[in-house]
Amino acid sequence: MTTVTSPLAGRAIGLAAVPDPVFSGAMVGPGTAIDPVREPSEAVSPVDGVVVSLHPHAFVVVDAAGHGVLTHLGIDTVQLNGEGFELLVNKGDTVQRGQAVVRWNPALVEEAGKSPVCPVVALEAAADSLGEVREDGDIKAGETLFSWQ
């Protein structure tokens, strides 16, 4: 079983509350979402693994079990063309849970007219393969978001 931890501090809100139908409808996969604190911060890896996809606004880490976890920093943030985001690792790097991957500022994302809400998704997972999914309450980076069978 894989434990997926929060890449950010904020408030767990669940995927249904994400202002994007692709995520709220779990079309990318099941998971949850974080409404982040509005201060400059580092998004950290939610699992130990390899960075297989890396963009300023989103990254995927695949763990030893082959589970890919997507962290998407805000909604429609691809339109910011990387402005306000700083990559701290490279695609192909092996990372540890809690290791900083991207530095960003959710307040600047919001000022640019985008939602800073961050979906954390179990890619290609069956909805019933996740357990103990956090969908409410304050959460710190590194606290458990969900388990994945």
Q: Please report the DSSP string for 73-120 in residue order.
A: -SBSGGGGTTTTEEE-S-TT-EE-TT-EEEEE-HHHHHHTT-B--EEE
CB 118 within 8 A of CB 136: no
Catalytic residue among 55, 57, 67, 72: 72
Is 57 among the catalytic positions? no
- What amino acid positions are annotated as catalytic residues? 72
